[in-house]
Amino acid sequence: MFDHLPILPPDSILGLAAACRADTNPNKVDLTIGIYMDEAGLCPVFDAVKQAQRALVDEEITKAYIPPQGDQAFLDGMTDLILGADLLASRKGAVAAVQTPGGCGAVRLGAEVLKASGAGGKVWVSDPTWPVHIPLIGSVGLELTQYRYYDPGTHGVNFQGMVDDLTGAQKGDIVLFHGCCHNPSGADLNAEQWQVVAQMAAEQGFTPMIDLAYQGFGDGLEQDVFGLRALVDNTPEVVIAASCSKNMGLYRERTGLAIFVGQDARAAQATGSQATAAARRIYSMPPAHGAIIAGRILSDAKLRQEWQAELTAMCRRINSLRVDFGDRLQAATGRDFGFIAEEKGMFSFLGLSKEQALQLRSDKGLYMLDSSRINVASLNSSNLDKVVDAVVSVL
């Protein structure tokens, strides 16, 4: 049966991280996968997570399944963190939240519910977008199309192109936005641009779907959901896919949730039931560990404060790496790399060709995606010189 089964190429992100791990070059540097690395080159466990985890280990009395919709403290804490008290009050009873295995699980369940709704429209994704969006959404049978987003010439958002393209999005269509810290470009909309987009959604009737994987890594926990909240405030129905992989460092615990904002309580019940039924078909119910930890952090004032302070420190460090890296590239080449400091979150494109990215990989052991997306959060004072020298060598 398996004789003719094709062997698939490795994943464009996970495969490169594995290739870097296997590389014996002592000077190798991995700037591929979006994981926050500290000065020592390690992905740290948040101290708030350690404390919540310790308490959980001591108090846990069962490993029985959690309910299909997930851990309630987690769902309540995250829904509040993302939507905020005002929106929750104005959309009272019309919000359903379902815990998922990471943000991927949330995108998939969101797509499953959208497909089940029979809207029949297209899903618009930014050009470019995180590559996994395509199979996650496409595999449920929804048709995808692209809207212009990133302009390699200006290293920023091509907002006019985005607006022109989205003028074609109509009722029944879904438009996927990155809530903050656009992956792969790091180029985000400003507040005014979010308002324009929210107005378009209201007038044209398309349904926003928001992938929120980096809340807290842009301008702050509240600021990073400005656009999301504008969309929810202006449209009757919104799907949100959120993750605690990055902002609580719970990557391997697969901790995420899908939020469905509908018109009323019946719609909330319908979306929740569809999402849990889809989960049952695919993986039954979500894992408990990460969500219980996140729920504890969000519901304990002291832990929550500590977590926020740790997250803020990580974000500040990434921003100072952005400035440092951009300045050094600029000093070495005379070219303008100021855009690196302007962009948000973990990623930026360096603007290199695929050939240059491959050459850096083979000649210098410097791993970035073929698109020249780098994870700025993997830079540190020990690898910065190496990375700058390597990049300059191919420019």
List contacts with ligand LMR (CB under 6 A). 13, 33-34, 130, 132, 183
The DSSP symbol for 362 reads I
Nearer to ligand LMR among residue 43 and residue 202 (C-beta) = 43
Shortest spacing between CB 150 and ligand LMR, in angstroms: 15
Task: Give me the residue whose beta carbon is nearest to ligand LMR.
Answer: 34
Among candidate residues 28, 71, 122, 130, the one labeled active-site is 130
Shortest spacing between CB 281 and ligand LMR, in angstroms: 23
Instruction: Give the ranges where 144-261 is alpha helix by DSSP (H).
Output: 159-166, 191-204, 226-234
Nearer to ligand LMR among residue 296 and residue 361 (C-beta) = 361
**Residue 50 annotated to the active site:** no
Nearer to ligand LMR among residue 33 and residue 123 (C-beta) = 33
Shortest spacing between CB 213 and ligand LMR, in angstroms: 6
Nearer to ligand LMR among residue 34 and residue 249 (C-beta) = 34
Nearer to ligand LMR among residue 18 and residue 392 (C-beta) = 18
Spatial CB neighbours of 295, under 8 Å, sequence gap ≥ 6: 71, 72, 73, 74, 75, 76, 77
Shortest spacing between CB 204 and ligand LMR, in angstroms: 29
Q: Among candidates 213, 198, 226, which has minimal Cα distance to 86? A: 226
Shortest spacing between CB 240 and ligand LMR, in angstroms: 17
Tokens (6 digits) for 390 = 């390597």
* Helical packing angle, 47-59 and 289-299, nearest 10°: 110
Q: Which residue has the tokens 């044209």?
A: 204
Q: Which residue has the tokens 């000077």?
A: 27
Q: How far is CA 210 from CA 87, 178, 228, in A?
A: 16, 6, 7
Nearer to ligand LMR among residue 121 and residue 179 (C-beta) = 179
Asked if residue 30 lies in contact with residue 17, where contact means CB atoms within 8 angstroms, the answer is: yes
Element (H, E) at 98: strand 95-100
Shortest spacing between CB 209 and ligand LMR, in angstroms: 17
* C-alpha torsion angle, residues 104, 105, 108, 110 (rounded to 10): -110
**Residue 124 annotated to the active site:** no
Cis peptide bond N-terminal to 26, omega within 30 = no
Query: What's the rounded Cα separation, in Å, for the pair 366 and 388?
Result: 10
Among candidate residues 188, 194, 224, 246, the one labeled active-site is 246
Question: Cα–Cα–Cα angle for 385, 343, 158, nearest 5°?
Answer: 130
**Residue 385 annotated to the active site:** no
Residues with active-site annotation: 130, 211, 246
